[in-house]
Amino acid sequence: MDDPAATSRLTPGRSCVACRRRKIRCDRELPCSYCTKLHLQCVYPGPGQDGKPGNEVLSRLKRIETSLERLESRVAHSSSPEVSESSRPGATAHQETPAGTQITAHLRSGRLVSEQGDTRYVTSSFWADLDEADRDETAAFVDDPSLATDSSAARPGRSQQNYTAVFGSAGHPAELVQSHPTQNHVFTLWQVFLENVDPVLKVIHVPVTQRQILQASQNLAQVPPAFESLMFSIYYAAVASIQCSASCRKLFQEERQTLLERYSAGVGRALSKADFMSSPDVTSLQALTMYLVCARHSANKTYIFSMTGLLIRSAMKLGLHRDPATFGLSPFLAEMRRRLWWHIVILDVRSAEDNDMDPFICEHMFDTKFPANVNDADLDINMTEPVSAIRQRTEMTYTLTRFEGSYAARKLVFSSKFNEDNGYPHLSLPQKNDFIEALLADLEENHFKYCDSNIPICFLTVTSLRMVLAKVKLTINHPARDGLTGLTGARLNDLVQSSIEIIEYAHTLRTSDKYSRWVWLFQKYIEWDAVAFLLHSLSSAAIPGLVERAWNAVDTFFKAWQGHVPDGEQRWGRLLNLRVKAAAKQSPESMAIINVGSKSTIAVVHRGQKEASTAATLTGLSIPVEPRNTCMAHEQDIMPISQAPLPQVFDPTIDVDHDEWNFDNVSYIMQEAPSWDMELDENSFNSWM
């Protein structure tokens, strides 16, 4: 008697779709042994689906001829002259695409392909074209929707790789769940992130991410690994933005450093769990980008530099370096990909500067346009038409000015080899200064004129970029090669003025309660070279009319940084030495040296100096003087989430598709020239330090 559970046997002569495509013998079981071995869905063609052998051979030959013709046309196209940026459709001078980019043949021929549920970017290759032809063949053969295999069912299980050397041990899944904060603290961290980080680091789409966090917090054990890495990155960014340890203890009842270490480890473990290096996606890249931007201010600079290289390669594997319009992606996904790519470009610039290197990303590598100047509310995951940029202030204004200013500065402050590799024109010193003025005028026309300086984020936008451009001007006019003798009086006064403005801008942003929530962006010594320049100028040249203001700026800097300099920071000692020498060059009546313990502190006593104000009108923008805070007032005012209303409540009755999980510095400091490590020439202005 036959076993009712026995595997059924089909009519002889019928092979399943998979065996027929592979041209192997099928045992005609259901499922057959081949499909069972590879965990494939075993599907047999229905009646009438057997094509005649002759027609099938002709069809295969036709597809092969088509593939060969495609390859031949691409080879011929790649040997033709490159199309200049100005001739490309839709290229404009300001918003669309980085000016002067040459789009090479390998960019034109690239495309996104889907493989085992993952999306990756490929350029033209023989095997990629054969894979495409094979997919076309399979699609033509299995044209009945009922015979289509489920991609998730057909996808073989992927073993998790070992990334301990990169991220540390992933640990047990339960350990990662336990690393999450409590639900109340999740929402408190999200609130801090929205106030301190998102306005200046627009990587994510807040409404979508908020809905995902609300859903994830209901069951942390079931959160997709990629989104879990984004959650830990948000936790880390929120804590990193809180500079006052007392505020951290008040909000979370734990030390700031303890939280940073826990959430940093959580980012790495979640990325490892998501198999990030083998199967990156937009969400995991958002997490890594945001983490590196925030960790850059405290982590080892070589680690950040190396991880940025990994991030760039992963981004290019996803095709982020290609403008999404090339692939016909939805407008929402296109904007998310543009935001992410340009944050990676700027991180590449910043990490290169920290390591005295040139950026890795070159012009010929990408054609991704700037993201649109729109609010998150203007973007919807279901939108079908591209969003139009708004000619007014938006949530993206600060980020866009960072992108545009930093991208332009790439052409001025790095090595001549970098300029040559990118096809940047060689500019004389007057041309570089004109370039900066033109850039400032362009930003004024497109962004600054819509900013109200009474609004803190607007003031930050204008002030921080003016500070950056003043530093660029100081860098390109660096007189180290010729000493002060190579500077005219007008040029020297202009550089001294720029140095003073850098210090005053930085001090205002750090000490005012209005802007201190974003102070974490300015903790990377942005004004140190300006201080060195001022001290050299005070000891080596006459700067009539600016001496008192210069000393005020220098004193402001030393008072702010005293006690906050990391151990082993050699530049601090050099600045102290420069200060002593500059003071010695002043008249005895104007300077007094006060010994405090084993340290020597310079007190500047200017005739008629008023203790109150260091305010100054800088480039048409009035800088108010705010009292220095020890803890940020806005952090003290943050309520625990149990006392604060949630902006949106998660409704468990709403069906959320799983695909939704896959959604996909800022201020710029240019590379110093020469390096901070140069030896100080005692007799001439041959270095800043």
Q: Is residue 397 part of a domain?
A: no
| Statement: residue 352 has pLDDT above 80 | yes
Q: Are residues 478 and 615 in the same domain?
A: yes
Q: What is the mean pLDDT of the chain?
A: 74
Same domain, 486 and 625: yes
Quickly state the pLDDT bin for 98 (edges 50, 70, 90). very low
In this structure, is residue 652 part of a structural domain?
no
**457 & 503 share domain:** yes
Q: pLDDT of 238-278, one tens digit each?
A: 999 998 889 999 999 999 999 999 999 999 999 999 988 88
Residue 156 has pLDDT above 60, yes or no: no
* Amino acid at residue number 305: F
For residues 172 and 271, state if they share a domain: yes
Question: Where in the sequence is the domain holding 246, given as residue range(s)?
Answer: 162-282
Cα separation of 237 and 246, whole Å? 17
Spatial neighbors of 551 by CB under 8 A, at least 6 apart, are 538, 604, 606
- 616 and 504 in one domain? yes
Q: If pLDDT is split at 50, 70 and 90, which confidence band does 320 have?
A: very high
SS3 539: helix
Judged against a pLDDT cut of 60, whether residue 158 lies above it is answered with no
- Compute the average pLDDT of residues 330-347: 96
Provide mean pLDDT across the span 192-207.
96
Burial 19-35 (b: 16+ CB within 10 A, else e): beeeeeebbbbebbebb
Q: Specify the pLDDT at position 615.
A: 31
> Per residue in 15-59, pLDDT tens?
888 888 887 888 888 888 888 888 788 888 876 555 455 566 777
The answer to whether residues 179 and 75 belong to one domain is no
Q: Give the CATH number for residue 23.
A: 4.10.240
Note whether 75 and 140 are same-domain residues: yes
Q: Closest by alpha carbon to 291, among 236, 212, 355, 348?
A: 236
Residue 344: the pLDDT is 98
480 domain residue, yes or no = yes
In this structure, the answer to whether residues 108 and 237 fall within a common structural domain is: no
**Beta partners for 593?**
602
**282, 315, 341 — which closes off a domain?**
282
Phi/psi of residue 122, nearest 5 degrees? -135, 150
Q: pLDDT of 435-478, one tens digit each? A: 999 999 999 999 999 999 899 999 999 988 988 888 888 888 77
> Over the stretch 468-497, which tens digit does the pLDDT of each residue have?
888 888 888 776 544 455 567 788 888 888
Based on the domain organization, do 16 and 138 belong to the same domain? Answer: no
Where residue 570 falls among pLDDT bands split at 50, 70, 90?
confident
**Predicted pLDDT at 55:** 63
Give the pLDDT confidence score for residue 613 in this predicted structure. Answer: 32
- What percent of the chain stands above pLDDT 90? 37
Res. 393: pLDDT tops 90: yes
Given a cut of 60, whether residue 560 has pLDDT beyond it is yes
pTM for this model (two decimals): 0.70
Higher pLDDT, 119 or 414: 414
Q: Judge whether 108 lies within some domain.
A: yes
For residue 85, is pLDDT > 50? Answer: no
Q: For residue 649, is pLDDT > 50?
A: no
Most confident of the ranges 51-60, 365-374, 496-505, 530-539: 365-374
Position 385 confidence tier, pLDDT thresholds 50, 70, 90: very high
**Number of domains the chain contains:** 4
Together in a domain, 478 and 585: yes
In a domain, 120, yes or no: yes
For residue 239, tell me if it sits in a domain.
yes
57 and 46 inside one domain:
no
Name the domain boundary from 282, 306, 330: 282
Average pLDDT over residues 179-199: 95
Residue 668 falls within a domain, yes or no? no
| Residue 118 confidence class, pLDDT cut points 50, 70, 90 | low
Q: Which residues contact 626 (CB under 8 A, 6 or more apart)?
A: 508, 511, 512, 513, 514
Asked whether residue 12 carries a pLDDT value surpassing 80, the answer given is: no
106 lies in the same domain as 237: no
What pLDDT was estimated at residue 44? 84
| Residue 597 maps to a domain | yes
pLDDT of 403 higher than 80: yes
245-276 as b/e, with b when 16 or more CB fall inside 10 Å? Answer: eebbeebbeeebeebbebbbbbbbbbbbbbbb
The share of the chain scoring above pLDDT 70, in percent, equals 64
Lowest-confidence segment of 52-66, 507-521, 652-666 by average pLDDT:
652-666
- Residue range 187-202: mean pLDDT, rounded: 96
